[in-house]
Structure 1
Amino acid sequence: MSGLGSSTWDVTAAGEDARDFRFIGAMGQAGPFALGLAMAQPKKRVVLFTGDGELLMGLGVLATIANQSPSNLVIVVLDNESYVETGSQPSATAGPTDLEAVARGCGIVTTGTITKNSEVNLLRDMVYDAPGPV
């Protein structure tokens, strides 16, 4: 599934799949929806691709995810340091806010930051193999 904005277009560009779900206008709601889906379908891997702006609008969900600890949930944040959908204003991650540190602080144990193309294999391994929540 994908959150609002650029992440939806990125997921769509990767190809269509009947299992895809794309949020178009529910800013801040992709994380809670992904958590609910992971809890309702514990035998299926739920992968959320979302942006920094969308996640920042519902940041408290990271604490709820950590407390519920769904082993089948993966969240991939595509951080462009801006709210592109509303005019490209800088997001908090353009400053000192570190979403990986926030996730760890909420209790999500498996985290990672990818900044180079050469690190994409790490992301793939986490998405497919790491026990969640990731």
Structure 2
Amino acid sequence: MRLEDLTVALRPRRPWEAVDLGCALVRRDYGRILALWGATVVPVWLVLAVIMRNHPEWYALVVWWLKPLYDRVPLHFISRAAFGVRPGFVETWKQWPRLWSLFLFPALLWRRLSLARSFALPVLMLEGQRGAAAWRRVEALASD
């Protein structure tokens, strides 16, 4: 990805401007994002439903517990779309195991109940930062 291909104006934004930009990016490709998200999440729900058919309360708990994984496909799509590339089903399916395996255990264990989870995922997944540098970045994003 090259900065020349960026489809949004790169500049510092106030927090609500950043939210508006995110909403505009999603609105532009909402149908495709929803289809890709559903194509990766619904099969997991169906497998879990078959496995846990006699335990609906456990099914609901597991579906809720896996919620941090559901954000990864839309984030992957939006991060690519910001550079003018709109991944399709084939590319998303190829990336799906990597997207769901990145930081799987932290996402489902100690970061599961973190209020900074929505800030941490892009820092970890897109920026690739780790350790103290990642958490300084998350704190900087959350402090605005």
* TM-score range normalised by the length of the shorter chain: under 0.3
Higher relative contact order, chain-length normalized (CA < 8 Å, sep 6+): 2
Higher helix share: 2
Normalised to the residue count of structure 2, the TM-score between the two structures is: 0.26
Query: Highest CA radius of gyration, 1 or 2?
Result: 2
Higher strand share: 1
